[in-house]
Amino acid sequence: MYPVVILLSVALGLQVAAIGTPFGMGSATTGGGSATAQTPTTKDDLVEWLQDSTPRVIILDRMWDFSSDDGTETSTGCAPWDCSPNPQQALNVINWCSSSYPTVSVTYNVSSTSPLYVGSNKSIIGKGKNTGFQGKGLYLRDIENVIIQNIVIKEINHHYVWGGDAIQLDNTKNVWIDHNYIQHIGRQMIVTGFNPSTGLTVSNNVFNGDSIYSTGCDGYHYWVALFAGNGDEITFAQNSVYMTSGRGPHIGGTSGYTQAVHIYVSPITGHALDPYAGASVLAEGNYFINVVTPLIADGGSVYAPLTSSDGSACQSALGRACQPNTLLGSGSLSALSTAGISSKFKGVTPMSASDAYTYVAKNAGTGIIN
């Protein structure tokens, strides 16, 4: 029989390293690697460890609440949406508020508008189901090799557009964002740009749009994911996109490659995929339930097969057929531009849409792996 202390060490050891292996575009990501795991006990340590240049495995054992750290501020914002009840309002960041929008007084948490910076070679890993960050998001800029796994990010001025993002990336390489839970965010749950994010895999996350405040006054969050980096290379896989109305995700505007694969999308009152000019997008094996508009054709090159015959067009580039998408109670999906197929998308093992639905419902989010 092993001594209790050894058994305890082994049990704890299972919770100090990232679980699983990154795939797709982010397959080369190792994060903090073999660095000794550390659990911060003060905000000062947490902030320093996140942003310094030392390779680290950072274990989060609690919900770190930054909401009230810098107090509140009241300023003049605007009300772009005049619906009822509970429309989102907006902070006048970068003079975003049009002169045609009514002005309103907005009071917001100052801390939530300035994210936590993350340096290179970090693994940020939560223990349990409800550890992570409240009132602040993460900002990855000019860095490489970061894993963010099993954490919650929530309550970032969700009354206000421009109130803060959950995860921002700009000029990054090799990042794996996996098994996280994001809800009640003012603006984007995840955003890239304008410099490229390459080697990025966003997998097994729950993007929960169930919100008090929304642009349509229906409780469905609009601002889910904005992939706007010039030259992004992204795998967006095995995620749950729930109760949203747009940008699920918005892709492109310049150039880049995104594989949207094995996503469980339901219900959506507006649109899901939104590929813009310059984007090359392969959407395969996704399960759309009660999605009003699965795809907005904004000029991107998109291949989204609906039949096995459609899927065969992927054979030459990927060495396999693509998995058809499934639509139930949803609008039409018509996008068969073969320019959306690229050999860059080889790093994903195919799964049928029905298997993806079952897998994501069971495995996405926090508390599953750690």
User: What's the gap between Cα 301 and its chain centre?
Assistant: 22
Residue 346 belongs to a domain: yes
Pairing of strands 152-156, 37-38: unpaired
d(Cα 270, Cα 259) in Å, to the nearest integer?
Answer: 21
Nearest to residue 65, comparing CAs of 3, 8, 109? Answer: 109
Q: How many domains does the chain have?
A: 1
**Joined tokens for residue 170:** 């700009």
Distance CA 203, CA 232 (A): 16
Closest CA to 268 of 335, 183, 323, 327: 327
Q: In whole angstroms, what is the distance from residue 151 CA to residue 205 CA?
A: 10
Active site residue 247: yes
Q: What pLDDT is stored for residue 261 in this prediction? A: 98
Residue 368 in any domain: the answer is: no
Q: Which of 56, 187, 247, 320 is catalytic?
A: 247
Tell me the mean pLDDT in the region 260-271. Answer: 98
Instruction: Return the bridge partners of 59, or none.
Output: 125
Q: What is the mean pLDDT of the chain?
A: 95
Query: Over pLDDT 70: what percentage of the chain?
Result: 95
Give Cα separations from 339 to 24, 37, 290, 330, 346 (angstroms): 19, 44, 28, 25, 15
Answer whether residue 370 is part of any domain: no
CA distances to 38, 77, 208, 312 from 180, rounded to whole Å, are: 20, 31, 11, 33
Instruction: Over range 217-234, report the average pLDDT.
Output: 97
> 151-174 burial string, b = 16+ CB within 10 Å, else e?
bbbbbbbbbbbbbbbbbbbbbbbb
* Gap between the Cα atoms of 141 and 112, Å rounded: 18
pLDDT at 16: 57
d(CA 137, CA 185): 9
Instruction: Specify the CATH number for the domain of residue 14.
Output: 2.160.20.10
For residue 8, the model assigns a pLDDT of: 33
Residue 133 inside a domain? The answer is yes
Query: What residue has token string 């223990």?
Result: 127
- Indicate whether 342 belongs to any domain: yes
Would you say residue 359 lies in a domain? yes
Residue 111 lies in a domain: yes
In a domain, 30, yes or no: yes
Cα 101 from Cα 270, distance rounded (Å): 22
* Mean pLDDT of the 287-308 span: 96
pLDDT tens digit string along 4-43? 333 333 334 444 579 999 999 999 999 999 999 999 999 9
Where in the sequence is the domain holding 26, given as residue range(s)? 4-363
Place of tokens 């030459």: 316
pLDDT digits (tens, 9 = 90+) for 177-224: 999 999 999 999 999 999 999 999 999 999 999 999 999 999 999 999
Contact predicate 136/117, CB 8 Å:
no
For the stretch 66-84, pLDDT in tens is 999 999 999 999 999 999 9
What is the average pLDDT across 246-263? 94
* Least confident interval from 15-24, 159-168, 180-189, 298-307: 15-24
Q: Measuring CA to CA, how many Å separate 60 from each of 44, 65, 72, 148?
A: 14, 12, 26, 11
